[in-house]
Structure 1
């Protein structure tokens, strides 16, 4: 008997990718403005290529876990954020005299999300206010005041614009919109630009930082979301031929299943992306003709990190803001993930009838 219940995992994988895992129907309202119930029903019924790629459950699971979600699902997520922007921008300008601009951050713009109905992080940037990196600490009190004003204005205007939507302001960094006419949850993050030292020297837009408010502390935090997106996207496109993002999705899917199965994983989506950023890109590139080679490299690299703690603990996130393994809990989660990947490869070997791991990478499977 398999160590992994692939029936349950494949069932969760399909539900996760098609949004049928939700406790509410995110598309009940035909007034959503971005899709209709008929379109959503058609999306749910669509058979994806990974579901028929093999009669072996381990292979269907591994391949499905790596694939990007349906393009239309992603478009709806982005369109939902755009709706929020179109409501907020004129209201903040006309009613509060705040000029704003908007950017997406997180898994959706990087296309490493694993849920069809994925929530969206929308940065609302006060365009009239910015800092250079050197003044972040000395002028923090003023930044807190300005960001709180923006947060309060956003909260008020969102409630006016979306009376049927649940608006949760208990989060420290974001205002969360759920339900009503919105087919996606949206996290609205009040912020302003930071001109980092690198940006001042090179003028590349992806090097600009954003300052966000931690409303509970209160304090401000400088993030580099576009630097993270740029470097992963660049490595994936030019050095891994798409394999890096597939590996990240695989890691995120395995994490989601482990959590469903009762495990606690302290590695975030950001952490998992950062880990695979340092893997062997040539091995990931082999996934273009042998999809399971990506599984092998992901397993190999997690095993390598487990056995080489000095190297593991030296690794930084792509944006260079911190070390990836900055807590003991993340190290134990690495072990849990590594074991899970070992088990997956073992099951693939059994299904293919192969004796050695390396032969899996030569299995002719293109998707």
Structure 2
């Protein structure tokens, strides 16, 4: 999980899965993929893809957002928690699968605190009742509800009645849309995240013959969501299409690849693409963001089971690690130190060796009778590798 803390680091999130590309300017926190913000009480608030704010701080039971004119962000609880804003500049939307606030900056810089009520569940009545109006920066009134995309539509294989292959092409239409969510299920439980709006999308239907449906909804730049649209087609064969990669895409065993305009990153293994569903899993498998290739299409390549933390290899430390370096071994070091109580649980492992990691290494070295130098050399590596076996 990622937590963004203004007092520690603020990172720009690059356009792949949520790789941490480097330190960003103080007033430039951008989310190019859905990002989990974990509170100390265990609740998770999702900062949705496409959001941008001046700064964002995660506290024990709340999130503080500084937002300015032209900025917007949607914060979502997939546990359907009851959430409040201070000042109350937006209305809580309580849906069947999540609760959310869509925030849009006003004429002046404003700091807003979102509080999550632990263990709560939002209600439809709560969604219909506006939170108290702000008395600063908004003229004492509530902003209008974000306008959703209009003229939305979706079709499978240009409206064909049937197909013999699970690999199909979706034709999509929406006015004033920047993001979309696509799923084989009406509740969208298999959709990894919102992706940039496209008018055409290669897609793989569910296994099994018979009627297959695809469901799509769209989001506007202001955070408004459209109604769900869908299309159905009869699948007469269970094949996933050709196993060979599309023309111009040469994938070998172990290749890391993503499709242009999409977020998921896959690894080629035994002729199928396996999804790496989070930065934690990506880094725990020892991968590097710079090794990910972007291709025009991955249509026709079958998908395998997604990776999980349970399939991650145990870390093996082989490199000298010191302040200023970054990479998978730094990330594994932070995770190990965090599980042992040396790295603070209020700080997310990032793969960057900064002052917090230096202090954690010093504590570890002191506790194990090692020279307290704040960096990882041969002696410290030996102890770390012993603990990680």
Higher strand fraction (1 or 2):
2
Higher RCO, Cα 8 Å, sep 6+: 1
**With structure 2 as the length reference, what TM-score do the two structures score?**
0.27
Structure with higher Rg: it is: 2
**With structure 1 as the length reference, what TM-score do the two structures score?**
0.28
